[in-house]
């Protein structure tokens, strides 16, 4: 029996050694070990890489340290995180300072929004990233799209943190673009920038953070575009003492509407979708904005908590994820100069990551609209 056992041992060793391929032998054809630019499948291609591996950036975009060592790096669209939740220092009875999270009216946690949204975006390019309704693949549109990480935000000083967000956003906004503005697709005429400073600016999509971040972001936007239309999706007025969409919260009284009117907002109530549908809501937004440059701010609580429960102040009776995505696609052709999504608080999400996936999908629609419409106009 000894020779037989020896032969069997050799056979097992031979079989197991045949299974132990080296790493290089298992790599798919055309695999790049350390790609600078993420490689997305094109038409009729399949995904070779595991989307759940590697550093988690938005949609597996290349990570560029835009505010530190890569300050000279240019891009066309950048994702940047603003992990900010405003704090209020109060003096306790003993004289010690105690930090309170007061950036949301109900429950805190949005400072973890950027990380959560990036995690929810990992599957965006599982099948290549082609947006079927808008007929565009924003990742293969010829634009350079990157993830710049997060703006360093102090958790101890509201005023200074707001300044940090404004300066960080402005640093990206005033950087030269990677791609030229090009010509008008209809007339063939050269396009001119729509900014007030006459420069072609990249677009910045900010991952919040609570809704306080829109103040420094709009200050940054004003430095390049001057007065601008704001399309604001939110279940709350946020004007307690631009165009709102998805409003459905209770009020302290009719005076809240007066305050909102004085701020210049045109309101669209969430329940209007039952009578005028998504087409009617899109029509209202487009009539209000016209052909002016617009900034887009999306509070995740505009989506019903059945679809996006992880937010600071959820309100029932909201739009579904599908309805909001349809409305955003209806903004195709508008000059969306930059955008944000706020109030994602992953601690309240389900194990299935419903909210962070919804936030990522919403931004996919925003990115697609941006990719289709350059920030230029034909000379009069």
Residues within the annotated binding site? Answer: 211, 234, 236, 238, 299, 301
Q: Which residues are annotated as a binding site for Mn(2+)?
A: 211, 234, 236, 238, 299, 301
- Whole-angstrom distance, CA of residue 247 vs CA of residue 260: 12
Joined together, the tokens standing for residue 211 give 């809704």
Separation between Cα atoms, residue 28 and residue 26, nearest integer Å: 6
How many whole angstroms separate alpha carbon 288 and alpha carbon 285? 5
CB proximity list for 343: less than 8 A, separation 6 or greater: 104, 110, 113, 208, 210, 211, 299, 300, 301, 311, 312, 313
Question: In whole angstroms, what is the distance from residue 292 CA to residue 286 CA?
Answer: 10
Task: Give how far the C-alpha of residue 4 lies from the chain's centroid of Cα atoms, to the nearest Å.
Answer: 65
Q: What is the 3-state secondary structure (H, E, C) of the chain?
A: CHHHHHHHHHHHHHHHHHHCCCHHHHCCCCCCCCCCCCCCCCCCCCCCCCCCCCCCCHHHCCECCCCCCCCCCCECEEEEEECCCCEEEEECCCCCEEEEECCCCCCCCHHHHHHHHHHHCHHHHCCCCCECCCCECHHHCCCCEEEEEECCCCCCCHHHHHHHHHHHHHHHHCCCECCCCCECCCCCCEEEECCCCCCCCCEEEEEECCHHHHHHHHHHHHHHHCCCEEEEECCCCCCCCCEEECECCCCCCCHHHHHHHHCCCECCEHHHHHHHHHHHHHHHHHHHHCCCCEEEEEEHHHECCCCCCCECCCCCCCECHHHHHHHHHCCCCCCEEEEEEECECHHHCCCCCHHHHHHHHHHHHHHHHHHHCCCEEECC
Give Cα 148 to chain centroid, integer Å. 12
């Amino acid at each position: 029996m000894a020779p037989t056992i020896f032969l069997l041992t050799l056979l097992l060793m031979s079989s197991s050694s045949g299974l132990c391929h080296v790493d290089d032998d298992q790599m798919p054809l055309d695999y790049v070990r350390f790609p600078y630019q993420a490689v997305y499948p094109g038409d009729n291609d399949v995904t070779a890489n595991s989307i759940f591996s590697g550093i988690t950036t938005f949609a597996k975009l290349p990570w560029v340290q835009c505010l530190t060592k890569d300050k000279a790096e240019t891009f066309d669209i950048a994702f940047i995180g603003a992990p900010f939740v405003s704090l209020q220092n109060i003096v306790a009875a003993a004289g010690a300072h105690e930090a309170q999270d007061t950036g949301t009216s109900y429950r805190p946690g949005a400072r973890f929004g950027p990380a959560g949204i990036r995690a929810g975006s990992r599957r965006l390019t599982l099948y290549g990233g082609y947006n079927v309704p808008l007929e565009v693949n924003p990742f293969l549109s010829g634009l350079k799209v990157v993830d710049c990480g997060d703006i360093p935000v102090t958790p101890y000083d509201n005023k200074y943190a707001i300044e940090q967000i404004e300066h960080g956003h402005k640093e990206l906004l005033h950087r030269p673009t990677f791609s030229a503005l090009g010509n008008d697709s209809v007339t063939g005429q050269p396009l001119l920038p729509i900014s007030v400073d006459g420069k072609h600016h990249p677009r910045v999509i900010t991952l919040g953070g609570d809704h306080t971040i829109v103040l420094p972001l709009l200050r940054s936007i004003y430095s390049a575009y001057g007065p601008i239309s704001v399309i604001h999706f939110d279940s709350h007025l946020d004007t307690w003492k631009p165009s709102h969409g998805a409003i459905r919260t209770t009020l302290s009284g009719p005076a809240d509407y007066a305050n909102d009117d004085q701020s210049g907002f045109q309101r669209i109530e969430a329940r209007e979708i039952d009578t005028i549908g998504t087409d009617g809501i899109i029509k209202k937004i487009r009539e209000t904005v016209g052909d002016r440059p617009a900034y887009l701010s999306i509070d995740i609580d505009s989506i019903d908590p059945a679809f996006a429960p992880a937010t600071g102040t959820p309100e029932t009776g909201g739009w579904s994820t599908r309805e909001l995505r349809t409305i955003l696609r209806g903004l195709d052709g508008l000059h969306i100069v930059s955008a944000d999504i706020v109030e994602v608080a992953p601690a309240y999400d389900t194990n299935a990551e419903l909210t962070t996936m919804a936030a990522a999908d919403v931004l996919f629609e925003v990115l697609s609209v941006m990719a289709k419409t350059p920030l230029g106009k034909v000379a009069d």
